[in-house]
Amino acid sequence: MTILFYIAALIAIVASIMVVTRTNIIHALLYMVISLLATAVMFFLIGAPFIAAMEIIIYAGAIMVLFVFVVMMLNLGKQAVEQEKRWLSTEGWYFPSLLSLILLLEIGYLIVSGQTAPFNGRQIPPAEVGKELYSTYLIGVELAAILLMAGIIGAYHLARRKKYVVHRFLKTEGAEQ
């Protein structure tokens, strides 16, 4: 199991690096999907099959599809690739690399000093996740629901068809002709 975990982790890391360095956005998105799948395998291996399935259904299956959808709408061509190349110049790398290095050192320190939470190889069935969500973490679920509701209302407001007024003196701003 441990060796499988490390293989999946390695794939996730390599794929994530590829996501950042690709100039073609479709290739970057594909690597992102691979990275998410690898993460799902890791979740599965440490005994969280429900989270693994959700990772694939929601992130790889829905959010990434929306990304692809937007990319198709934008119709990016050679120009975008050129722009990406310019952005990936060496100066742009310094600061993010520094921040990542600090995080890496922190993780290394935590592992070496043995302050990580112990891992018990217990599998958590989906029913238990549901019970926890609706009891211990109820406030989080409710907050997420409020946020999504606001998002839906906002999207409705943006996409709402403007009122169609027949009389020429009563024409509203931006009405369809």
Partner 1 sequence: MNETLFYLILIVGVLVVMLSIAALLIWYERRMLALWQDRYGPNRVGPFGLVQVLADMVKIFFKEDWIAPFSDKWVFIIAPTFVVIAVLMGFAVVPFAPGLVVADLNIGLLFFLAMSSLGAYSIFLGGLSSNNKYSLIGALRGAAQVISYEVFMGLSLMGVVIMSESFSLVKIVEAQKTIWFVIPQFIGFVIFVIAGFAESHRAPFDLPEAESELIAGFHSEYSGMKFGMFFVGEYLGITLISAMIATLFFGGWLGPSFLPPVVWFFLKTGVFITFFVLVRAALPRPRYDQLMALGWKVLLPLSLLNVLVTGALKLYFAG
Of the pair 65, 147, the CB lying nearest partner 1 is at 65
Rounded CA separation 105/57 (Å): 33
* Per-residue tokens: 51: 């989270």
Which of residues 11, 28, 53, 80 is near partner 1 by CB under 8 A? Answer: 53
Task: Output b/e per residue, 145-158; b: 16+ Cβ within 10 A.
Answer: eeeeeeeeeeeeee
Task: For residue 39, count other CB atoms closer than 10 A to its CB.
Answer: 22
Of the pair 19, 71, the CB lying nearest partner 1 is at 71
* Inter-residue contact 31 to 19 (CB < 8 Å): yes
Q: Does 145 bind partner 1 (CB under 8 A)?
A: no
Q: Does 152 bind partner 1 (CB under 8 A)?
A: no
* Inter-residue contact 36 to 56 (CB < 8 Å): yes
Rounded CA separation 37/52 (Å): 9
* Inter-residue contact 162 to 174 (CB < 8 Å): yes
Of the pair 101, 121, the CB lying nearest partner 1 is at 121
Which of residues 9, 19, 28, 68 is near partner 1 by CB under 8 A? Answer: 68
Q: Mask of contacts with partner 1, 112-141, x by CB under 8 A?
A: -----------x-xxx--------------
Which of residues 4, 20, 57, 88 is near partner 1 by CB under 8 A? Answer: 57
Which of residues 4, 13, 20, 65 is near partner 1 by CB under 8 A? Answer: 65
Q: Output the smallest distance, CB 129 to partner 1, in A.
A: 10
Task: For residue 72, count other CB atoms closer than 10 A to its CB.
Answer: 10
Which of residues 21, 24, 83, 172 is near partner 1 by CB under 8 A? Answer: 24
**Residue given tokens 């890391």 in the structure block:** 13
Positions touching partner 1 (CB under 8 A) are 24, 26-27, 30, 33, 49-50, 52-54, 56-57, 60-62, 65-66, 68-69, 71-73, 123, 125-127
